[in-house]
Amino acid sequence: MYDLNVFKKTALEKVDWLLTEVSSLRTGRATPTLLDGIFIEVYGSRMKLNQVANITIEDARTLYVSPWDREQVKAIEKAITLEDLGVSVGSDDKGIRVSFPMLTEERRHQLIKLVRGKLEEARIQLRALRTKAISDIEKDESSEDEVKRLKAEVQKVVDEVNGKLEVATEKKEEELSH
């Protein structure tokens, strides 16, 4: 018997994936998640920035990174600079100030296009998941009625997830437009 709950859980993970992907796209506001993809070489191993420092919001366009070990200030400053986020980076003896410039209209359009690309990527993943689920259902030793019912349930989940993907994308586009 095909387990629809596993399909539903995996399908809903596509929404989480999309939200994670677009959360790092910069809007007019500075948020600590914008620095989530930065890794620092610390004590001989690569660690995420948020594992070696506190990241706080100073104002709408500025983040302040306070390393737990002050000797890491230069390494963190270098890593943020090398990430090429289009930000200005300055340090003092206690930490690093990361300032985000105002978004230009052209950059907003680029970011919206990128969000739509991520949406399409999520939809492709979801379609592949649906195709596999339907294939698995058809291989199952179920009655014709049961196969029809399961296919309808799979499509219902796909439609629900597509709706959530759409809402997440619209929300991010709205965020980027202001």
User: pLDDT digits over 76-103, tens only?
Assistant: 998 888 887 778 899 888 899 998 887 7
Backbone angles phi, psi at 26, to 5 degrees: -80, 130
Phi/psi zone of residue 128: left (φ > 0), alpha (ψ -120 to 50 degrees), beta? alpha
The number of C-alpha atoms within 13 Å of 51 and in the hemisphere containing its C-beta is 11
CA 40 to chain centre: 20
pLDDT on residue 28: 62
How large a percentage of the chain has pLDDT more than 70? 97
Range(s) for CATH 3.30.1360.40 in the chain?
32-99
138 and 147 Cβ atoms separated by less than 8 Å: yes
4-23+104-177 fold = Topoisomerase I; Chain A, domain 4 (1.10.132)
Q: Which residues contact 78 (CB under 8 A, 6 or more apart)?
A: none
Pick from 147, 119, 166, 141: which is nearest to 17 by CA? 119
Backbone angles phi, psi at 89, to 5 degrees: -125, 130
Give the CATH number of domain 32-99; options: 2.60.120.560, 3.30.1360.40, 3.90.1570.10, 3.60.21.10. 3.30.1360.40
User: pLDDT digits over 14-31, tens only?
Assistant: 999 888 888 766 666 777
